[in-house]
Amino acid sequence: MPELRLRLSGIGGQGIVFAGRLLAQALLEAGKHVTLRYAYGAEVMGTPVHSELVISSEPILCPYFEKADVAVVLHPRACAEAISGLSPTGLLVLDSGVNAQGKIPLKVRVEVRPFVALSSRDRPGDPGRLAPVAALGFLAKLGLFPLDPLLRAASTGRAAEENLEALKLGFSL
């Protein structure tokens, strides 16, 4: 697998950092080389949050990148920065609640799915905490990385059942 540069973007409270850690753990355990960095505003809740991963079958020389090959955007507040940091021929995965009309470069492939709406069902006040995990399931469905390591990594911890459900939901979209 060549190097894959992935940016997950949303707002504080959505679990963007958790999803980045989950993916990094899963792929490390599957034998891939992975770097992870994340950034969030000082206020955290409600401010833009980004997890950036570099995934490779070879050692990674630099964990930083300017342009992502794949950007996942789960909230409008994170949209402009994520799109400006996407390769002109990259893949943009948008939550259906994010309107990016007129901002997307012509050669960018776009996939739109209702991650937040579907993963927030019956959870009042939930900003889409499981949406990033569902998005990882969808990226696995697209073939960017295998689902099995994600399922193994998500099967431990206090929210294992919810995380496994979210991954499977995303994979089914």
Give 61-107 pLDDT, tens digit per residue: 999 999 999 999 999 999 999 999 999 999 999 999 999 877 888 89
pLDDT tens digit sequence for 19-38: 999 999 999 999 999 999 98
Buried b (16+ CB within 10 A) or exposed e, 97-116: bbebeeeeeeebeebebebb
Which pTM was predicted?
0.93
pLDDT tens digit sequence for 147-156: 999 999 999 9
Q: How many domains does the chain have?
A: 1
Task: Report the C-alpha gap between 69 and 92 in whole angstroms.
Answer: 9
The whole-chain average pLDDT of the chain stands at 91
What is the reported pLDDT for 1? 52
Q: How confident is the model at residue 47 (pLDDT cuts 50, 70, 90)?
A: confident
Domain that holds residue 71: 4-172
The residue among 1 and 61 whose pLDDT is bigger is 61
What is the reported pLDDT for 105? 85
Q: Which residues, other chains included, contact 3 with Cβ-Cβ below 8 Å and sequence gap of 6+?
A: 54, 55, 56, 58, 60
**Residue 45 gets which letter from DSSP?**
B
Domain CATH number, residue 130: 3.40.920.10
What is the reported pLDDT for 42? 62
What is the reported pLDDT for 43? 58
How far CA 97 is from CA of 36, 64, 110, 155, in Å, comes to 26, 29, 14, 29
What is the reported pLDDT for 120? 81
8 A C-beta contact, residue 6 and residue 69: yes
The residue among 149 and 124 whose pLDDT is bigger is 149
